[in-house]
Structure 1
Amino acid sequence: MKRTAVNPWDWSVKLGYNQAELIEGAARQVICAGQTAVDGNGAPQHPGDMRAQISLALDNLEAVLKAAGMGLGNVIRLGVYATDVDEALKNFDLLGKRFGPHQVAPPMTLVGVTRLAIPGLLFEIEATAAA
């Protein structure tokens, strides 16, 4: 699979994501449901702690990707939902720490929401990956 960053401006690259990516030669694709800070039984974890919830949501995303035979380096699109955008942005270094080693900056959208499906959850991340 070949990825080509499409950035008519460079401001988003400084924030850690591309405006778009041209994907060529992908043979497989996985579309992940939103991952949140829940344990293996679906019970919410880390109430009130945005940073811990982001970290666990990323752990869960990695687990789903691994089960599909992929990893964070295969992610070509992210959708992020947060009940407090400012607090989420303060902790976005976690995304850089996870995606940076794979040298990918998938296009991303961050949306502020009033709540998520399960009360107490603060952050949700969905991904599309290809290989």
Structure 2
Amino acid sequence: MEKRTINPWTWQNERSYSQAVEVKNVTSTLYCSGQAAIDPDGTSSDKDMKSQLLQAIANLEELITTAGYECKGMVRLNIYTTSTQELWPHFPILQEWIEKHQIEQAVTMLEVTGLFETLTVELEATVVK
């Protein structure tokens, strides 16, 4: 797989994403459903935003690796949250995870009026290899 990021500016670098990602010679693509703070038994978290973000990241990583992909192959990340204001102070957690896995991805973050049950953040990804 060949991956090329396109960034006409530099300001997005400190926000840990790329304006566009081009991929060529892909052998397979994994489209991940939104991963949130849901326990293995199906129980939705009612914890704070930081705790839910940590669990959503862990669940996304587990899904990607279980499917036989690497987090580094992520090309798209959609972030859904019930409060961007509440999520933003914890954004460095996501940035550190992105840096750890050397992920270069396009990102969209949306504030929504609600997520499933008691959830406050959900991560949806596209991963290639």
**What CA distance in whole angstroms lies between the structure 2 residues aligned with 1:53 and 1:66?**
20
Deviation at 1:88, TM superposition (A): 1.1
Measured against aligned partners, the alpha-carbon deviations of 1:41-100 in whole angstroms (never above 9, x if no partner) come to 21012x241011000001100111111101211111001100010111111111112110
One-letter code aligned to 1:52: S
CA contact (8 A) 2:72 2:104 kept: no
**What CA distance in whole angstroms lies between the structure 1 residues aligned with 2:98 and 2:108?**
15
Aligned partner of residue 91 in structure 1, secondary structure: helix
Paired position in structure 1 for 2:94: 95
**What CA distance in whole angstroms lies between the structure 2 residues aligned with 1:24 and 1:107?**
16
Determine whether 1:129 maps to 2:109.
no
Paired position in structure 2 for 1:10: 10
Normalised by the length of structure 2, the TM-score is 0.95
**What CA distance in whole angstroms lies between the structure 1 residues aligned with 2:104 and 2:85?**
21
Q: Which runs of 5+ in 1 are unaligned?
A: none
Normalised by the length of structure 1, the TM-score is 0.93
**What CA distance in whole angstroms lies between the structure 1 residues aligned with 2:104 and 2:2?**
14
Task: Please report the RMSD computed on the Cα atoms of aligned residues, expressed in angstroms.
Answer: 1.0
Alignment length, in residue pairs? 129
